[in-house]
Amino acid sequence: MEDKIREVARLIANAKKVVVFVGAGLSTESGIPDFRSPGGVWDKYDPADFDFHNFLTRESSREKYWQMATEMYEAMRDAKPNAGHLAIAELERLGKLDCLITQNIDGLHFKAGNSETRVFELHGTAMHVACLDCHRRYERDPIQERIAAGDRAPRCDSCGGPLKPATISFGQSMPERETAEAFRRSAECDLFIVIGSSLVVYPAAQMPVEAKRSGAKLVIINRDATPCDKIANVILNGPAGQIMESILQKVKEERV
């Protein structure tokens, strides 16, 4: 493991464009459940009930969605970035991070110190709420206060349209600008680092493939094996935060 950590640190030190791609496996180390795992939210709810079309057309679906979304948000609201988030933010401060592509919706990268211009949230964010009609954006906590007071499916103050957490639901299109830019950056980088992703959710899971196809080195840091392991240059299996903290320390040593 130590040799691999040193190898990844050298790759980072020598790279001109580093893209980091993050999945739920990093946030679980901050106490945020992996909602797809046994005992998670999807064991309590049927994902089919939260199809975006149903949200648009049925008040009962909106009420059920907000019930589920409230449960998820409460797990994220007070979470703190772990060593892995802090290490990625430090890579940006060191001038080594071209961009961060995240499948997570918890906003922990911003708490850690990454700048908004370098982060592409492929699945949106649970920290804000958006009106689906006029697109007005709200902070999440005031909307949660309305729900706690009995508003089971809140509507926009400006136009009366349905409010929804600014996340991407089943059946909802991925954000076009963020997705296109993430693919472009993946194809132009010289080092692509996957952290805490099983790489099974598409189209995002195609990004490391695009990076490798374009000539980048590929590093995968994840607890379990992934479909991309066979094309990776370096694989480190274990706790992502601890591994990233060790890699960052070696990067700093390489720069001395």
* Residues with active-site annotation: 123
β-sheet bridge partners, residue 234? 219
Q: Which residues of 170-189 are buried (b: 16+ CB within 10 A; e: fewer)?
A: eebeebeebbeebbebbbbb
Q: Do 19 and 98 form a contact (C-beta atoms < 8 A)?
A: yes
- Residues 6 or more apart whose Cβ sits within 8 Å of residue 10: 250, 254
The whole-angstrom separation of Cα 22 and Cα 188 is 18
Closest CA to 42 of 80, 84, 7, 71: 71
Angle at CA of residue 210, ends 208 and 213, nearest 5°: 110
